[in-house]
Amino acid sequence: MEEGRRWEEMPTDCLVSIFLRLGLDDLTISVPFVCKSWAQASLDPGCWRVVDFRTLDLMPWSRFCKGFVSRYSLRSFSFSPLMEFVVDRARGSVTELVFPSSSSVSWRDLVYASVNRCPGLKRLALPDRLMLEDELRIPELVGGWRSLEELELESKPSSFLALVARIGHDCRRFTRLRVSGLITPEDACVMVNCLPELKCLDLSKSYLTKTELGVIVNGCKSLERLAVKDCLGFEADEEVVSMASNLKVFDHQGSKLLDDYGYETDEPEHQTGIFCW
């Protein structure tokens, strides 16, 4: 029988087509060390269009971190070298960038990855628990996100009003936002006035009153999908359901006026996960 073809002899474009479906774990500490042809294929920017750091266990003692330190002869693990390694491999091809949720991300990391090395960024998930001075500076980054279409904020930053205003001015293709926190009348108005093309909005696990909900639903004329799951501040009564009847999707499961103790609250839990509709 004729000998079967060897994996290392597969054409580079076929390897790239396979590798772009792999996660960062495999692309960084496994694939490049299999053979020369795999290592060469893994250098193709097409493998690195989607960069999701939340798929990795970034605790220093994790299997991944120990493997990364060993493979690349580092003294210890920190997030910055990993981030620089990944976005440099992408060579400007990143379209989706998901930062880890932890506070290990510095201001320099945000600038390096989301502005300097990812000019075609379409989807961005920012880390939670940034230092206050870094939160206040987030609007400064928006000028480098001209192609941005979707933004995820695990909790509402203190610079939210300025951030949304800058996105409305600089990001003409922006259509999707996810944020969790206390949604004030000013927050509702800035989303209506500055994001006229907003199609998908996720405010789940926020504090949101019926008044602010009405401002958003009636003011965001392009809105198609609205998620307000597990919110406090309103109940999905007949008036609310009727108000949102023009939306394709209105997900209000678990929302209620009061907390479990019978009190209103403006301290919602942080939401985790990736915005995916």
Question: Could you give the CA distance from residue 121 to residue 41 in angstroms, rounded to a whole number?
Answer: 23
Q: Verify that 41 and 15 share a domain, yes or no.
A: yes
Assess if residue 275 is contained within a domain: no
Half-sphere exposure in the Cβ direction for 105 (13 Å, CA): 22
What's at 63, amino acid-wise? R
Contact yes or no for 94/120 (Cβ under 8 A) = yes
Q: Verify that 184 and 163 share a domain, yes or no.
A: no
Q: Write the CATH number for 24.
A: 1.20.1280
Q: Verify that 132 and 245 share a domain, yes or no.
A: no
In tens digits, the chain (277 residues) has pLDDT values of: 455 566 666 777 888 888 888 999 999 999 999 888 888 888 999 899 999 999 999 999 999 999 999 999 999 999 999 999 999 999 999 999 999 987 688 999 999 998 889 999 999 999 987 888 999 999 999 999 999 999 999 899 999 999 999 999 999 999 999 999 999 999 999 999 999 999 999 999 999 999 999 999 999 999 999 999 999 999 989 999 999 999 999 999 999 987 555 555 544 444 434 444 5
Assess if residue 273 is contained within a domain: no
Question: Could you give the CA distance from residue 262 to residue 277 in angstroms, rounded to a whole number?
Answer: 32
Q: Verify that 162 and 126 share a domain, yes or no.
A: yes
Strands of the sheet containing 150-153, edge to edge, are 50-52, 96-98, 123-126, 150-153, 176-179, 200-202, 225-227, 249-251
Q: Verify that 58 and 35 share a domain, yes or no.
A: no
Structural domain containing residue 43: 1-48
Spatial CA neighbour of 276 closest among 152, 172, 174, 186: 152
* Total count of domains within the chain: 3
Q: Verify that 234 and 196 share a domain, yes or no.
A: yes
Cα distances (Å, whole numbers) of residue 10 to 89, 175, 210, 276:
21, 40, 59, 34
